[in-house]
Structure 1
Amino acid sequence: MARRLSVTRRGFVLGGLSAGALLAFGSPAWASAPTGGPLTDAGPDIIDCAGWAARPNSDIVPIWNQRPVKILVHHTASANQADVGRGAADGLARAIQNFHMDVRGWLDTGQHFTISRGGFVLEGRHRSLEVLRLGKRQVEGAHCTGQNVVAVGIENEGTYIDQDPPQALWESLRTTCAYICTQYGIAPTELYGHRDFKNTACPGDRLYGMLPQLRSEVAGLLGQRVEGAQTQKASWPLLQPGDAGDTVLAAQYLLRDAGVPVATDGRFTPAMADAVRRYQVTTGAEDPNGILGGESWPVLARTVTRGDGSDADRAVDTLAAGRNVEAVPDEVDHPAWQRLLGTTGTPTNTAVDPEGPPR
């Protein structure tokens, strides 16, 4: 059978089979706990770096004398391949490490843990598992600038823009998150998507939309109960080419307020993407990609005094009129912006780490 190579959005090369039926998978013993049921043993089965034949790290892995306070969920943006066996999981981990070290120039894999479509959980960066088992310190990752010391990063194999993750992956994700929460004392509501802090579609619309469910199920595994509004986190909308409507128009007014020329027509055109990229360059975004997400919104949505006649005030008017909001505060700060944008929820943990460039 022919072997196909594909380059993912993140750039690393993966091999897959050109055809084939979905294979049976084995999941860790404690991943089979009923949804909402409590954990009953010490933790999930996690394959360490030696287990998947990782390369040695090229430099000392930094370890901080502090506990992380949140978990960030990613997807690999690679093919949703049918091979869900252990060999495929090991190959995924090696491909990610090769890309991160050989192309990105990092000292090791960027994320702390990786979960395959077959539900296998693998250590990503060296010493992540050892340090997690102790539960007192944090391995510095390279999965999200600004969050690498305060957040544990979990990559989930596949692309989840218009597909849900397979059940095996989901079970392992929720139990791994529950174990991390247990070890570090992280609240089950402190689970986020990559896009909450960066200008990216990661972890995909479908997986991102499942985060409230993940928070609820992780809480259940911990013997806690969180429902409804507690599972919703305040966030920022993701805007990209092809989008249209009041939110895009408000963003256009905010760009003009920031001194970036752009048409105010409510359409996210290629010209608007160029305007967003220019803004991202001036504000020091790590990857000026023209996508407006969790990294650029907090800078763009400045505090506005109502009635000041600015383009930012016009953005407020646009959102208030489009959503029939009558009570708009005299001063529109980040929580007020998020309510107007329709992305309100419990406050996001905004802790930012002291790390330097990814390594």
Structure 2
Amino acid sequence: MSAARITRRSLLVGGAALLAGAALPGTAHAAAPAPPILDCAAWGARPNSRIVNVVTQRPVKILVHHTATPNVVDLSRGAADSLARGIQNFHMDRRGWLDSGQHFTISRGGFVLEGRHRSLEVLRGGRQQVEGAHCTGQNFVAVGIENEGTYTDTEPTGVLWDRLREMCAYICGQYGIAPTEIYGHRDFKDTLCPGDVLYGMLPRLRGEVGDALGRRVEGSSVRAASWPVLREDDRGPVVRAAQHLLRAAGRTEVAVDGAFSAPMAESVRRFQADHATEEVNGIIGGESWPLLAAPVRAGEGGEAEQAVEALVASSSMRPPSTVGRQEWMQLLTAAR
């Protein structure tokens, strides 16, 4: 497998979604059976280059990724092993990491593979967390699952979906994580990961995982507020709000016209560079939104209040008197 095939961050171009809280450590939670999981030795992993850090705390969420590799038709065990080795080689040799960054990988053929060493052992214990490298800021608190393929405009295979549901249910049961605490990478970073289609399937995943655990997940908890992803050629009130917020942040060259143009993308890149975000890619996602969406009070005037007005005008929400992180997310979600 070539390195070019494994550069998933080239497409992973994830501000946390406000969902119901995870169960507290030590509380009772339903168990779910584990799907078959191939450990690192089974797929021929290299030894980790440094000691894998294990922390004495439970993770509180799951992050879903896609590998942004081709949607291969080879669904064999051999293809799954090759994928895992290719990801590990890229992460260790090109990124300089001590091991694969994700905790687990699911192939298009439905094979579940341990990613980072000790992840399976620690998951089975249900009391600790292996520090990952799948999402900056989330590596101590979230289990990262890579799903083979690119899900920008197509759905994952049925068998991959089944294993993802089973794996999420098992992880939630082991750690007492609420099914509503399943997120996409884009909820925390300026990235398209895990693809528009797979990200759009996460409400269904939360509901199915809840059913597997005997915990029905109702409407607003399944599809809750989150930071949207904006990119070139997007249009509408959310883009207009972002334009006002960019201007409020000093990017006064941005025109307020509701259209995400190439010049706007360049202004976003400059904003990202100024704030040293992990990705400088011109995409507004889960890392840039929290930097842009500063608290604002009604009557303050200025670009930030105009951003609020643009969102309120296109939604059924009443304008809040104070707009903080939660209100921004609710407004942005309602205006989409």
Q: With structure 2 as the length reference, what TM-score do the two structures score?
A: 0.90
Q: Which amino acid in 1 is paired with 2:5?
A: V
Counterpart CA distance in 1 for 2:183 and 2:234 is 23
Q: Deviations over 1:281-335 (max 9, x none)?
A: 222211111100011111211111112121111111112223354x211211122
- Alignment of 1:265 with 2:263, yes or no, is no
Equivalent residue, structure 2, for 1:293: 285
**Superposed counterparts of 1:123-272, under 5 Å:** 123-261=114-252, 262-272=254-264
- Amino acid in the other structure paired with 2:292: L
Structure 2 CA distance for aligned equivalents of residues 179 and 323 of structure 1: 38
CA distance in 1, matches of 2:218, 2:315: 25
SS at match of 1:192: strand
What SS is found at the alignment partner of 2:228?
Answer: coil
Match of 2:270 in 1: 278
Give the secondary structure class of the aligned counterpart of 1:342.
helix
CA pair 134-74 structure 1, distance change in 2 beyond 3 A: same
Moved runs in structure 1, 4+ residues, more than 4 A? 3-6, 39-42
Distance in 1 between residues matched to 2:217 and 2:319, nearest whole Å: 29
In the alignment, is the contact (CA less than 8 A) between 1:165 and 1:207 conserved in 2? yes
Q: Tell me the C-alpha RMSD between the 2 structures.
A: 1.9
Are residues 1:323 and 2:312 paired? Answer: no
Aligned length: 315
Give the secondary structure class of the aligned counterpart of 1:50.
Answer: coil
2:122/2:130 contact within 8 Å kept: yes
**Cα pair distance change 1:255/1:4, threshold 3 Å:** closer
Distance 1:308 1:11, change over 3 A: closer
C-alpha distance in structure 1 between counterparts of 2:33 and 2:62, whole Å: 19
Unpaired runs of 5+ residues, structure 1, are: 13-38, 345-359
Q: CA deviation at 1:270?
A: 1.4
Letter aligned with residue 293 of structure 1: G
Superposed displacement of residue 279, structure 1: 1.1
Moved more, 40-49 or 220-229: 40-49
Question: Aligned partners of 1:141 and 1:91: how far apart in 2?
Answer: 21
Higher RCO (CA < 8 A, seq sep 6+): 2
Counterpart position of 1:356: none
Query: How far 1:40 sits from its partner (Å)?
Result: 8.6
SS at match of 1:7: helix
Query: What SS does the corresponding residue of 1:51 show, helix, strand or coil?
Result: coil
Contact 2:309 2:319 in 1 (8 A): no
Is the alpha carbon distance of 1:302 and 1:292 closer, same or farther for their aligned partners in structure 2, counting shifts above 3 Å?
same
Which stretch of structure 1 is more off in the superposition, 99-108 or 274-283?
274-283
Aligned-partner Cα distance in 2 for 1:47–1:141: 18
TM-score by length of 1: 0.84
Task: Could you tell me which runs of 5 or more consecutive residues in structure 2 were left unpaired when the two chains were aligned.
Answer: 11-29
Percent sequence identity is: 62
- Pair 1:116-2:114 in alignment: no
